[in-house]
Amino acid sequence: MTAAATILLTPDVEVAIIGAGFAGIGAGMRMRQNAIDSFVILERAADVGGTWRDNTYPGIAVDIPSFTYSFSFEPNPEWSRVFAPGQELKKYADDLTIKHALRKHIRFNTWVEKAVFDASSHLWNLHLKNGRRLSARYIINATGGLIEPKLPDLKGLADFKGKVMHTARWDHNYDLKGKRVAIIGTGATSVQLVPSLAGNVERMDVYQRTPIWILPKPDREIPRWMQRIFKRLPLTQSSLRLLTTLYSETVMVVALIYFEQLPNLVKSAERAALEHLQKQVDNPELREKLTPKYGFGCKRPSFSNEYWKSFNRSNVHLITDPIASVTENSVITKAGTEREVDVIICATGFKVFERGNLPSYELIGLNGHELGEFWDKHRYQAYEGISVPNFPNLFLIPGPYAVSGSSWFFMIEHQTTHALRCIVEARKRSATYVEVRQQANDRYFENILERQKHTVFYNNDCATSNSYYFNKHGDAPFLRPASSLEVWWKSQNFPLKDYIFKTTQYEIRAY
């Protein structure tokens, strides 16, 4: 034994999970199921739920049926609708943290500012905003993809004297009744917000840069008697989950990634959406303005039976002329029309694959490599959407090319399976270091790029879609071009030899 081997080194925790949204909660539940008790969940806010804690705008609901948009091993028989409202998702997050005894593992108001890997002890040292430090063998990064609101870059917005709100920072004390409202943006959030507010405000100007594809929403209330059946006979709910998952998988995954092989799937979705529009909007000129000029799937489509109809109302105006500037009390478009408003609501989405957002803090791996900088220079990439060479003992839920579109929960479950296979294997080998091999990463990345060429993203006139799926490199790293079945299989069977396992020279005390 060398002199160094006599040094005893015990990290504060074995696993530091960063973020207490559903990804962090999912990772925490799986830690407990695998008898890993030495873990913390670090959350910068004062509550759990991430997206569903921060987004409380009127009309918020899931856009994937709730039977599918939930953990497979934690069905919730209490969903009140097929597409549950946002508050029920927040409650689902609260209930899971109690049921799985996660609260004692969560440290609220704990903002991770930086994490540095130490190559000799094989530990991550986390620097927290409160000045404290924490060491961990592994990091599971669960800081979300859509958490940092993006405000529009509009000349004069700072001088506006009325109210300005982003949809992810809703001010419930501000009464919109009888107000003149400008809504900027017509993405998935606007689709829910516009019909919820239209009947309550004096006037609503909806500023549209890019129209959105919308399919009819097969939503309905779930009566109490059905909830009771789900509770007593969980198989009934699992069968519905299978159906809604097949539906989501067909529309949101298969149609998009197998576009070259099955173009008719996308074409029939486009036809269904256009028929829907025809039925919902009376005025042909308005219909034309609301018709997307890019292909279905280039940006996230939505489901609604109310959004398009709202534009038939006399107090709702669709404005396609781009905004030139904002004054103290109005919005002026490029054509020179000035419209006075009391409030500007920015339904302008979030930062996605860009530096400073994913990861949301500085992550320094081997030889001073910083993850955000690496991706910025060398394109977003991660083996199986979870591990990056030079960043040992780090698992990203999600990393680039991780999300197979049918539901975020599906991604969480399979990414945690992957991370746990690595951690459990390291424990078996008494290893303290798990790093994906460069070759394995390159193989995965090349394969993804090749497959991406055949998806809807590069074959269906996406140029004008202004889609958050695309980043500055022209890549679409948000979605993994693979079916859910393949992702499930890979998470359980990826070759462990794709990873390097090593043991530190320091002796480790039990966690």
Ligand X SMILES: Cc1cc2nc3c(=O)[nH]c(=O)nc-3n(C[C@H](O)[C@H](O)[C@H](O)COP(=O)(O)OP(=O)(O)OC[C@H]3O[C@@H](n4cnc5c(N)ncnc54)[C@H](O)[C@@H]3O)c2cc1C
Positions touching ligand X (CB under 6 A) are 18-24, 42-45, 50-52, 55, 62-64, 69, 111-112, 142-144, 146-147, 189, 360-361, 407-408
Contact 142, 18 (CB under 8 A): yes
Nearer to ligand X, 45 or 332 (CB): 45
What is the amino acid identity at position 389? P
Nearer to ligand X, 66 or 280 (CB): 66
Contact 371, 363 (CB under 8 A): yes
Nearer to ligand X, 407 or 432 (CB): 407
Closest separation in Å from C-beta 447 to ligand X: 24
Nearer to ligand X, 20 or 154 (CB): 20
- In whole angstroms, give the CA distance from residue 329 to residue 327: 5
Nearer to ligand X, 91 or 502 (CB): 91
First-to-last alpha carbon distance for the chain, in angstroms, is 22
Closest separation in Å from C-beta 352 to ligand X: 10
Nearer to ligand X, 290 or 411 (CB): 411
Closest separation in Å from C-beta 158 to ligand X: 25
Counted residue by residue, the chain has a size of 511
- The torsion region of residue 197 among left (phi > 0), alpha (psi -120 to 50) and beta comes to alpha
Closest separation in Å from C-beta 62 to ligand X: 4
Closest separation in Å from C-beta 102 to ligand X: 13
Closest separation in Å from C-beta 43 to ligand X: 5
Establish whether the linkage from the previous residue to 359 is cis, with ω within 30° of 0: yes
- The torsion region of residue 140 among left (phi > 0), alpha (psi -120 to 50) and beta comes to beta
Whole-number Cα distances in Å, 280 to 209, 275, 276, 306: 21, 9, 6, 8
Whole-number Cα distances in Å, 295 to 93, 291, 303, 320, 462: 35, 11, 16, 19, 6
Nearer to ligand X, 404 or 432 (CB): 404
User: Tokens 């920072």 correspond to what residue?
Assistant: 169
Q: Which residues contact 402 (CB under 8 A, 6 or more apart)?
A: 382, 384, 385, 386, 396, 411, 415, 480
Alpha-helical regions (H) of 297-341: 307-310
Closest separation in Å from C-beta 89 to ligand X: 7
Closest separation in Å from C-beta 148 to ligand X: 8
Closest separation in Å from C-beta 501 to ligand X: 27
Alpha-helical regions (H) of 368-483: 371-378, 408-428, 438-452
Nearer to ligand X, 14 or 63 (CB): 63
Nearer to ligand X, 79 or 501 (CB): 79
